[in-house]
């Protein structure tokens, strides 16, 4: 679906993108995203008729930060909410950027380790 030249992703697509999958059923855990919507006021997907949710690029960026704070940093919901709310209150772009930078740094480190592991297997 296209809206204002921005591609919107369905809730299932977003859940798959972030690896939010029910281990038993192998289906996307969309309930996690709906729960995060209720907990984090920064996350506001487009809700169309029938209650179908679609996420913009901006929503995906917010989810990346929430995911990083909860899953990578290990914060509680309240801790992540406090962190996200402090960033809004302070309007401090530098701190928000630092959260994103930390997220991307962690991603690069993990990908680098994966590549090095594959190189070692090839040379081994």
pLDDT for 18 equals 94
Average pLDDT score over the chain: 85
3-21 pLDDT per residue, tens: 444 689 999 999 999 999 9
- What average pLDDT does range 93-117 have in this prediction? 75
Over pLDDT 90: what percentage of the chain? Answer: 52
More confident residue, 10 or 123: 10
- What average pLDDT does range 78-82 have in this prediction? 93
- This prediction has a pTM of 0.67
CATH class of 2-123: mainly alpha
Q: Answer whether residue 87 shows pLDDT above 80.
A: no
Q: Answer whether residue 91 shows pLDDT above 50.
A: no
CA torsion 65-45-31-70 (nearest 10°) is 10
pLDDT for 3 equals 44
Query: Residue 39: is it exposed, middle or buried by C-beta count within 10 angstroms (0-12/13-18/19+)?
Result: middle
Q: What is the DSSP string of the chain?
A: -EETTEE-EEHHHHHHHTT-B-TTT-SB-HHHHHHHHHH-TT---EE-GGG-EEE-HHHHHHHHHHHIIIIIS---HHHHHHHHHHHHHHT-HHHHHHHHHHHHHHHHHHHHHHHHHHHHHHH-
48-79 pLDDT per residue, tens: 988 899 999 999 999 999 999 999 889 999 99
């Amino acid at each position: 679906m296209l809206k204002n030249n921005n591609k919107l992703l369905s809730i299932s697509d977003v859940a798959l993108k972030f690896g939010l999958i029910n281990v038993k059923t192998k289906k996307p855990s969309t309930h996690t995203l709906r729960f995060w919507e209720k907990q984090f006021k920064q996350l506001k997907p487009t809700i169309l008729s029938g209650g179908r949710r679609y996420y913009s690029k901006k929503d995906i960026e917010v989810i990346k930060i929430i995911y990083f704070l909860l899953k990578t940093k290990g914060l509680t919901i309240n801790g992540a909410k406090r962190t996200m709310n402090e960033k809004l209150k302070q309007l401090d772009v530098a701190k928000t950027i630092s959260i994103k930078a930390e997220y991307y740094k962690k991603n690069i480190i993990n990908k680098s380790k994966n590549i090095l592991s594959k190189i070692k297997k090839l040379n081994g």
